[in-house]
Structure 1
Amino acid sequence: MAHPDFAALSRRLLGQVDPLAERLARRVREAEAELAVVPPEDLTAVCALHLRGIYTHLAGEGPMELEPVRANARRRALQGVPLAALLHSYRVGTLFIWESFVAAADERVQAVLLESVSELWLGLEDYSEAVRSTYHEVEAERELRARRDRDLLFDALLGADHARIRESADALGLPRQGRFHVLAAESAAAPRLPVPAVWRELPGERLAVLWLDAPRAEALRAAGPRFPADLLADPPPGRFGISPPYTQISQTASALRLARLALASVPPGADGVSRYGDRPVATLAASSPETAGDLARRVLGAVLDLPAEDRGTLLGTAHAWFAAGGSTARAAGALFCHRNTVRYRLARMESLTGRRFDDPREAAELFTALETLRVLP
């Protein structure tokens, strides 16, 4: 509780709020150029409201009211006043209030001012925290609205209304013609891209429309044969799919379908970047998972019925053999086993499936079934 003399002085200053508010508004405006966007009468009214609340509280006639502070912080945030400038204005105001006490106090009251100064600075701390928290709330709301607006514009790119597609592209800063790619990524993946991109986050995936102007496209193409996968030369962990290039922004919906297929061709749980067409068999399986899964089970049915450890050994050996280009020796090296072990396991696969690895057509069926198991969850 404030000293009785300090409370009495606060009540006296409460009767002088209007002229004090005008002086405080001028001082704040002179001290903080960022507040130039605030109309003078608005700033004076806010100063009067705050001074009235503070003097009332220090006079012991009411609680510290923070709602006017929050309301002011919200309005200033919407007006574009930087947070640092707003906090500075409150420090200027607190110093002004202290000076008003010093100027109005006689010798007897001045002796108790230092005893009561903590009340004033504690109030500044409460005001500053209210300003910060409200300002951040407004920023979060503004970002949420902006993100929703961007999402609606992105979704319009995927529609069939060409007029809306053009309008959305203009609003998103994308040209209507150029060189574009769509990137599809697992939701946890957040790659850095060397080209402009417009992002859309959906449950379980993140999408981006990438735009390459002529100089960027040429520079990346010259950098290596993996273009456009080189757009993610140093990707974070996760799965990524990249569409083929397209030249009309109205083709984004079709490109998105191909990017999603490229993403689906990377086995679940693996890390990798796949351009559409990099993994044709896996992409075919991903494009028709129900049919592909059924055919894979028909080809490998007897193998899939084995106990888990035995099944995993045979499937892993077959994968290694195909990855080694059909070389038993290289497959054995990758599996750290003898070549005869690889031959034995492949023979078991042939016996269980009725298909031989040395027959090109039957080997293709086995490879397709194995790839299907890899990419389908």
Structure 2
Amino acid sequence: MTKEQEPAAEAGTVTADRAAALTLSSDVQRALRAALPRVAEHAVAAIIVEVPVYAAARSFMVDNIEAAVQMALGSFLTLAARSGDASTPLRPAQQGSYELGRGEARSGRSMDALLSAYRVGARVSWRELSGVAVEAGMSAALLAQFAELVFAYIDELSAASVAGHADELATSERLQRQHRDRLALDLLRGSSEELLLRRADRARWERPTSLTVVLARDADLHVVRGLVDARSLVLAEDLPDTVPDDDVAALLVPDLAPGARARLARSIGARSVVLGPPRPWLLAVASYRRALRAHRLLREHATDAPAAYDTEAHLADLVRGADPEALADLRRTSLAPLDDLTPVAREKLEETLRLWLLHRGTREAVAEALFVHPQTVRYRVGQLRELFGDTLEDPETVRDLVVALG
């Protein structure tokens, strides 16, 4: 147990102080200790009946409750008798209560049932112990002190259980986050199906049908995270195949339907975010690789996406940007007939050729796009035919030119 998981050091101070102020005769001590088994039995029976969660308890849970009550009452009587350091008897009882709280958290229960059990146990124990103490000759004044000790003791055991419950929840949440971080990393690495299935089980993560990788800047992560499914995995550091200055985090969004995808893109606003394609969850690495290529393409062209950059809407750009050297070579060879022109003339003819090919030779549409007269388009196309010759009628040449000019 770590220091963070230990019951607070000052816990028990009040109880120890009350015990130090209480003097029990040997007759009262013997009577109380003799009554301990019966009191514990009655307290357990009352808890099982009155606390709904424990009313249907299985035998092992009943045994646990009984052991806890026996320890608590035994420690209490040792404390009341002040044998040795008054705080020493509290430690095992506090530790037991702390572990009870952790156990409730591990079982997925709140502290309500356990705190109810403390209240019921305290009521039954006080009723029976006070009766035994009075019969053994305890005075009214001492009985009042005895009552204060009983309830201070129960308060401190309750506090130890609350601390254990909180610590266990924090630990469980931390472990779950770690498991989910590992799952996200292995998904983006393209790890084996066997490993991914094991990671998902450990992370207690509900497996979706598909995953869509969304890349966002670190500064925008908290905003984007609030716009996506709560089941989304997030990896903010150590993304595969990135460099330290990439300034990018990944969200793996489950089952992002087309309508939800469109709404997400609209909600993102002006933030620079890249959406990969949806892929089967075990193949999320394919969505990540495409999103990462788009992210790099935007960076290489010093382009900040004005809003969500949806890779599904820019497939041609991604294909053209997949091999920049090959694209440069294609432009050099396919546009070689323009090499002898001045830069200004070349720029005009390249743009005219691009639009002429895209508009399939419709002169009016090209003229409208260029903001020139159709006769100007006719003149420029004439120049292009002189430079390229019959190759403009060759399908393979046309394909290369369309790709080269984009």
**Pair in the same fold by TM > 0.5:** yes
How far is 1:48 from its partner?
0.4
Distance 2:350 2:167 in 1: 63
Describe the superposition over 1:276-303 as per-residue Cα deviations: whole angstroms up to 9, x where unpaired: 377899989x9999x9xxxxxxxxxxxx
Structure 2: which 5+ runs fail to align?
Answer: 1-19, 238-247, 326-342, 352-406
1:33 alignment partner AA: P
CA distance in 2, matches of 1:211, 1:122: 53
Are the structure 2 counterparts of residues 166 and 50 from structure 1 closer, same or farther at C-alpha, using a change threshold of 3 Å?
closer
SS of equivalent residue, structure 2 residue 97:
helix
State the match for 1:13 in structure 2: 32
Who is 2:284 aligned against?
A: 252
Q: Is 1:25 the counterpart of 2:44 in the alignment? A: yes
Structure 1 residues 317-347: Cα deviation after superposition (integer angstroms, max 9, x where no partner): xxxxxxxxxxxxxxxxxxxxxxxxxxxxxxx
Deviation at 1:231, TM superposition (A): 2.0
Give the 3 Å change call, closer, same or farther, for CA 16–268 of structure 1 in structure 2. farther
Residue 209, structure 1, aligned to residue 253, structure 2:
yes
Deviation string, structure 1 residues 149-185 (Cα, Å, up to 9, x no partner): 3334334434556643774698544455x6x421123
Please name the residue that 1:94 is paired with: 122
Q: Report deviation, 1:52.
A: 0.5
How far did 1:196 drift?
Answer: 7.1
Q: Percent identity?
A: 18
SS of 2:139's partner is: helix
Aligned length: 286
Q: Sort the Cα spacing of 1:197 and 1:146 in 2 relative to 1 into closer, same or farther, 3 A.
A: closer
Separation of aligned partners in 2, 1:112 and 1:236: 72
Query: Secondary structure, in 3 states, of the residue corresponding to 2:235?
Result: strand
- TM-score (structure 2 length as normaliser): 0.56
Tell me which residue corresponds to 1:241.
274
- Give the structure, 1 or 2, with the largest relative contact order (CA under 8 Å, sep 6 or more): 2
**3-state DSSP class of the match of 2:73?**
helix
Aligned residue for 2:178, secondary structure, equals helix
| Higher mean C-alpha deviation, range 62-71 or range 131-140 | 62-71
CA contact (8 A) 1:11 1:59 kept: no
Secondary structure at the aligned position of 2:274 is classed as strand
Distance 2:162 2:80 in 1: 23
Q: Residues 114 and 256 of structure 1: is their aligned pair in 2 closer, same or farther, counting only changes over 3 Å?
A: same
Residues 21 and 153 of structure 1: CA distance in aligned 2, closer, same or farther (over 3 Å) = same
- The Cα offsets for residues 96-146 of structure 1, whole Å up to 9 and x where unpaired, read as 232123212327523432244333332233222211111111112222333
Give the match for residue 192 of structure 1. 226
Letter of the 1:200 counterpart: V
- In structure 2, what is the Cα distance between the partners aligned to 1:11 and 1:288? 89
Q: What SS does the corresponding residue of 1:4 show, helix, strand or coil?
A: coil
User: Aligned partners of 1:87 and 1:99: how far apart in 2?
Assistant: 18
Distance 1:112 1:196, change over 3 A: closer
What is the match of residue 323 of structure 1? none
Contact 2:24 2:80 in 1 (8 A): no
| Preserved CA contact (<8 Å) 1:229 1:274 | no
Counterpart check, 1:138 vs 2:168:
yes
Tell me if the contact between 1:21 and 1:45 (Cα under 8 Å) persists in the aligned partners.
no
**Root-mean-square deviation (CA), in Å?**
4.4
Cα distance in 2, alignment partners of residues 95 and 239 from structure 1: 62
Partner residue, 2:9: none
Q: Secondary structure of 2:277's partner?
A: coil
Equivalent AA in structure 2 for residue 68 of structure 1: G
Distance 1:140 1:92 in 2: 28
Q: Does 1:273 align with 2:304?
A: no
- Spell out the pairing of 1:1-377 with structure 2 (5 A cutoff): 1-5=20-24, 9=28, 12-35=31-54, 36-37=57-58, 38-61=60-83, 62-63=86-87, 64-65=90-91, 66-106=94-134, 109-160=139-190, 163-164=193-194, 167=197, 172-175=205-208, 180-187=211-218, 189-190=221-222, 191-193=225-227, 197-203=231-237, 205-212=249-256, 216-217=257-258, 219-220=259-260, 228-235=261-268, 239-246=272-279, 248-262=280-294, 265=298, 272-276=307-311
Question: What amino acid is aligned across from residue 234 of structure 2 in structure 1?
Answer: R
The CA deviation at 1:47 is 0.9
Distance 1:260 1:201 in 2: 14
Query: TM-score of the superposition, structure 1-length normalised?
Result: 0.60
Give unmatched runs, 5+ long, in structure 1.
Answer: 221-227, 292-354, 364-377
